[in-house]
Structure 1
Amino acid sequence: MITDLGIVFDRELNFHAHLDKMCCKAFTTLGFIRRICNDFSLVSSLKTLYCSFVRSILEYGLIVWDPVTACDMMQVKRVQRKFLNFAAYKLKIDHPPHDYTPKMQLFSLFTLNDRRLEANLTFLRRFIDGHIDSPELLELIKFEVLSFHARLLILFSVPKCNTNYLKNQPFYRMMSIANKNPSALLYY
């Protein structure tokens, strides 16, 4: 089943088919970039190509399909690692094998997981600030109102979830992320 966003659901209502399709498309685009970059020798040009053509594929609609299993996260992470290996080889950067931190710092890239967290918090912040207008969705956000002064700051009331499907529902996930680090919501 394909939705309006082009996101594909499986029979089990997970996004494995979408992740496969998205990663395949990202690898194909990365292969094209590798073929046309013979004469490129600047970090900025390689980063611009990756961010605009490949990473945009990996991040399209991620508020809806944010991967939750380690296997799904690894599948998405593999694309960025392949780019980092290619870029390090292309620019003749000496790097230890399987350590992607120096390469990410050189390119000023964040992990895809950090970008997904940032995107969730940014969406929630824009939603609360009224930049996104949807009264039906606004009803899903439950603010926590404490009757006493507590040291622990909890912004949202997230219900107890019996299943992972409910726990990873986009608004519950965003509210849980904001509750773990409330100050991060203020900066986005």
Structure 2
Amino acid sequence: MKIFANIEGTDNCAVLQNDLNTVVKWCQSNKMKLNVDKCSIISFTKKKNRITHSYTAQDTPLNRNTTVRDLGVLIDEQLTFRQHYEYIMKRSRRLLGFIFRSTKDFKNPRSMLSLFLSLVRSISEYCSPIWSPYYNVHIENIEKIQKKCLRYICYKYKFGRTLNNYSDRLSKFGIMSLQTRRARYDLLYLHKILHSSIDAPDLLSSLSINIRYRMRVPKVFTLSVYKNNTSFYSPLVRMCRSYNELVCGSKDTIVDVFNNKFSIYKKAVTDHFKPDVLSPHK
């Protein structure tokens, strides 16, 4: 369970503490034991003069953390997700090493690639619409995981002479780069929010649809001016901006997030990213 509030003063702190007391009282009334040691506080802010109120549960002060794990995603107080990047890269490299050691006798390169796609790539893109990186250093560091796997496969099965660069290897095995797959997931997630496939009414109400049709460069979603990168690259804003760029830049591919069924929309989005994959491996 998460209890949250917008804290702008001590009055807001008192309201949040009262909400916490209500939860504690409910647990006691229903004879549910609350493990206070596993409860923690985190404040999401970039302000230097932050409000650090001491909250309690069952008369015990709660620990204040700078990073929390929520459904497998590490979230820090400034929403940079840097610790999550380090976590998935460390875990992916460890699993990739396990695959290399366990597949020395494999004769089919596709078998090794299947292990990578199921065990490693799934980790490196889990919940990517939430934490998708926007700095090149993080994008490249995460991409190195797949680059290393394809480079090893090409060396092991003697494809190296004909597949000298990353794009050729992607084309050879018929897969997308991790960055492209994250962009594709963003657009698919936007469709699910708009059509309430995901129960997120707050996200749906945050979307601002442009009703000014007579524009030189039409944009489906209206975006504000953002003061920092955290807001500019926030998940919902990033998804809307990607869709605007897709609609404005694609003349041949029809991608309609409002009227197309998900299966049709998904195919159109995938076709848009197909130049990244030229010819699947046979």
> What TM-score comes out, normalization by structure 2 length?
0.62
Larger Cα-atom Rg? 2
Count of aligned residue pairs for this structure pair: 187
Alignment of 1:52-71 (within 5 A): 52-71=118-137
| 1:7 matched to 2:48 | no
Identical-pair percentage: 27
Retained in 1: the 8 A contact 2:88–2:124? yes
Structure with more of its chain in strand, by fraction: 2
Structure with more of its chain in helix, by fraction: 1
Aligned equivalent of 1:178, options 234, 239, 243: 243
Greater alpha carbon shift after TM alignment, 25-34 vs 89-98: 89-98
| 1:141 matched to 2:207 | yes
Aligned equivalent of 1:94, options 146, 155, 160: 160
Alignment of 1:30-109 (within 5 A): 30-95=96-161, 99-109=165-175
Aligned equivalent of 2:225, options 152, 160, 177: 160
Task: State the one-letter code of the partner of 1:157.
Answer: T
Distance 1:52 1:185 in 2: 30
Distance 1:102 1:67 in 2: 24
Distance 1:80 1:95 in 2: 19
RMSD: 1.8
Distance 1:163 1:95 in 2: 45
Change (3 A) 1:16 1:97: farther
Unmatched runs of 5 consecutive residues or more in structure 2: 1-66, 248-253, 258-264, 267-282
Moved over 4 A (4+): 183-186
Distance 2:206 2:69 in 1: 21
| 1:130 matched to 2:130 | no
Retained in 1: the 8 A contact 2:163–2:169? no
Change (3 A) 1:98 1:161: farther
Unmatched runs of 5 consecutive residues or more in structure 1: none
How far did 1:151 drift?
5.3
How far did 1:37 drift?
0.6
